[in-house]
């Protein structure tokens, strides 16, 4: 994903829903403000806004700024102040999303410990935008005093920062993985969520009266967080953090739970520090374990693939030797033919290895096949065609075919003497790779067996690829046309043009 590019998966209805959701989150947060009507310590709207920009793209900025303006205007009744605060809230989300894409892994931000750490650093910085813009606008509008501005700014910043840390992961990951709601770990996730709810009720809710013996129970929150981190991945961990946060906010609002202090704002500030300190480490742990698990799965896959390819390569080598021995007239001829084919196979494997066994440029395959027989400048060998990239399933077999054609040309055709010339062109059409192999052979070099004993190998290989071979001699020319289907069912291959 390029810098500044989000997923852009939201249609018009999705953007409208973002606007309404932001308004609801913001209006709810403002109802909990105590130190200043516009400065709430509980601000989940920041997390929603960042997740929306990451998921929907920068066009989510419009519903965010509208929702922010509406919520603030209903609170302060000041159009100018509300507009300024709304711009700060929106700029905060856009800046965070941009920096996450630039430096923290983009949409993979919560799937690595480094990404989580960088997200925390970015959010800690960008949330100062809204706090600074908002407090400054309140002071200029006479809605806040200069002397107590620092507590208002600190409340605003911590509320936004906690909202980013707790809400962004859960909203974004559920949006990103919404098709993975039912999986093999469903029962375990349900148990984890139920345990989080139980601990939330016991340790934080106002259902039970607060006593000194109940205060330490708040530390039980790390149990479902670590359980989710160790067993179920980042999304479950973020969900548990959000559930615990909801119960903790409920209890603190009712002046119950371990965070209750003399003033509601002080209680919420203590709660925010607790949420930040337990959410970030558990999310980082979950991301790290998830990355290690993916690496182990990838390693196992690579080992299986290596075993499969080794078996295939040995089978190819065995076939090459048997065909070489069948047509060789002496040990020396067998050694020369088999060695040439083996070196050609090694060259094709090097090309595939350089591309992680994904695709190989047709021009590189042609160069590898012709290099032993053409001069360094390739003045007697011309090849041209579209920049086609062949899948690995086709590349190895085609390299062997090209090698046999080049070997025949060197022994019996255009490359035997000093005056012959070879031209190769390739193209693709309707899922077919088309190769036109044309040799200009001087009359003195033309022989009845100019096709060479590699011809059966060429025909057999092309036939195994469900392709066809056409040969034509005319006016001192040998023309060979190859056609290979690249979308057949048995090959499952496709062509890529870049």
Same domain, 61 and 151: yes
- CA–chain centroid gap for 188, Å, is 27
Q: Checking phi first, is residue 167 left (phi over 0); if not, alpha (psi -120 to 50) or beta? A: alpha
- The rounded distance, in Å, linking the Cα atoms of 348 and 335 is 20
**Domain final position from 148, 181, 214:** 181
CATH at residue 445:
3.30.565.10
Same domain, 224 and 272: yes
Same domain, 239 and 315: yes
CA distances from 390 to 127, 248, 406, 431 (A): 48, 57, 20, 12
HSE value, Cβ hemisphere, 13 Å, CA-based, for 308: 8
Q: Is residue 480 included in any domain, yes or no?
A: yes
Q: Are 390 and 495 in contact (CB under 8 A)?
A: yes
Same domain, 148 and 52: yes
The neighbouring-strand residues paired with 284 are none
Q: What is the pLDDT of residue 364?
A: 86
Q: Is residue 200 included in any domain, yes or no?
A: yes
Q: What is the pLDDT of residue 21?
A: 97
- The rounded distance, in Å, linking the Cα atoms of 238 and 218 is 18
Token readout for 304 is 């299986």
- The rounded distance, in Å, linking the Cα atoms of 220 and 491 is 56
Same domain, 398 and 424: yes
The domain tally of the chain equals 3
Would you mind telling me the total number of residues written for the chain in this entry?
498
CA distances from 277 to 100, 113, 131, 274, 281 (A): 21, 15, 21, 5, 7
Domain extent for 78: 1-181
Token readout for 198 is 């139980």
Same domain, 158 and 249: no
Q: Are 57 and 24 in contact (CB under 8 A)?
A: no
Same domain, 143 and 8: yes
- Going by their DSSP bridges, the two strands 477-485 and 432-440 should be labelled as antiparallel
- The rounded distance, in Å, linking the Cα atoms of 398 and 452 is 18
Q: What is the pLDDT of residue 306?
A: 67
Nearest Cα residue to 373 out of 422, 407, 335: 407
**Domain final position from 158, 181, 204:** 181
Q: Is residue 337 included in any domain, yes or no?
A: no
Token readout for 494 is 């496709």
CA distances from 46 to 21, 72, 194, 269 (A): 11, 14, 27, 16
Q: What is the pLDDT of residue 378?
A: 66
Q: Which residues in the chain come in under a pLDDT of 50?
A: 1-5, 488-498
- The rounded distance, in Å, linking the Cα atoms of 390 and 221 is 54
Q: Is residue 340 included in any domain, yes or no?
A: no
Q: Is residue 245 included in any domain, yes or no?
A: yes
Same domain, 51 and 170: yes
Same domain, 157 and 197: no
Same domain, 170 and 253: no
Same domain, 314 and 353: no
Q: Is residue 112 included in any domain, yes or no?
A: yes
Q: What is the pLDDT of residue 419?
A: 79
CATH at residue 103:
1.10.1760
CA distances from 185 to 182, 233, 236, 282 (A): 8, 10, 10, 19
**Domain final position from 134, 154, 181:** 181
Same domain, 322 and 382: no
Q: Is residue 343 included in any domain, yes or no?
A: no
Q: What is the pLDDT of residue 379?
A: 74
Q: Is residue 239 included in any domain, yes or no?
A: yes
């Amino acid at each position: 994903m390029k810098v500044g590019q989000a997923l852009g998966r939201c249609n018009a209805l999705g953007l409208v829903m973002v606007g309404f959701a932001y308004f609801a989150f913001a209006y709810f947060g403002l109802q909990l403000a105590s130190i200043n009507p516009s400065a709430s310590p509980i601000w989940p709207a920041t997390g929603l806004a960042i997740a929306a920009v990451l998921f929907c793209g920068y066009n989510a900025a419009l519903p965010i700024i509208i929702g922010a303006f509406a919520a603030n205007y209903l609170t302060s009744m000041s159009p100018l102040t509300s507009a300024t605060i709304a711009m700060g809230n929106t700029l905060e989300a856009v800046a965070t999303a941009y920096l996450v894409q630039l430096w923290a892994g983009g949409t993979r931000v919560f799937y690595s410990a480094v990404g989580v750490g960088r997200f925390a650093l970015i959010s800690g910085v960008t949330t100062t935008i809204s706090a600074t813009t908002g407090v400054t606008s309140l002071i200029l509008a006479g809605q806040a005093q200069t002397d107590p501005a620092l507590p208002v700014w600190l409340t605003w910043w911590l509320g936004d920062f906690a909202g980013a840390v707790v809400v962004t992961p859960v909203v974004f990951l559920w949006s990103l993985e919404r098709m993975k709601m039912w999986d093999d770990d469903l029962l375990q996730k349900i148990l984890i969520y139920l345990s989080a709810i139980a601990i939330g009720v016991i340790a934080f809710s106002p259902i039970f009266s607060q006593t000194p013996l109940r205060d330490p129970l708040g530390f039980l929150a790390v149990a479902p967080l670590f359980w989710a981190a160790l067993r179920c991945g980042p999304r479950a961990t973020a969900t548990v953090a959000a559930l615990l946060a909801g119960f903790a906010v409920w209890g603190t609002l009712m002046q119950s739970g371990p965070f209750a202090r003399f003033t509601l704002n002080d209680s919420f500030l203590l709660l925010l520090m607790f949420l930040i300190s337990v959410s970030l480490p558990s999310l980082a742990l979950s991301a790290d374990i998830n990355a290690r698990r993916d690496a182990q799965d990838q390693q196992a896959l690579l080992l299986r693939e290596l075993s499969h390819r080794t078996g295939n390569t040995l089978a190819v080598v065995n076939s090459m030797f048997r065909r070489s021995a069948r047509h060789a007239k002496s040990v020396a001829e067998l050694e020369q033919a088999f060695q040439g084919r083996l070196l050609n196979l090694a060259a094709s494997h090097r090309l595939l290895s350089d591309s992680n066994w994904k695709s190989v440029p047709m021009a590189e395959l042609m160069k590898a096949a012709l290099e032993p027989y053409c001069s360094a400048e390739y003045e007697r060998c011309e090849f041209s065609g579209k920049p086609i990239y062949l899948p690995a399933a086709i590349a190895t077999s085609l390299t062997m075919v090209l090698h046999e054609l080049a070997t025949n040309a060197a022994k019996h055709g255009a490359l035997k003497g000093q005056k012959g010339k070879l031209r190769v062109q390739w193209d693709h059409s309707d899922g077919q790779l088309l190769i036109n192999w044309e040799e200009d052979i001087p009359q003195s070099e033309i022989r009845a067996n100019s096709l060479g004993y590699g011809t059966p190998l060429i025909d057999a290989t092309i036939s195994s690829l469900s392709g066809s071979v056409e040969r034509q001699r005319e006016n001192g020319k040998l023309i060979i046309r190859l056609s290979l289907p690249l979308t057949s069912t048995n090959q499952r291959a496709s062509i890529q043009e870049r």
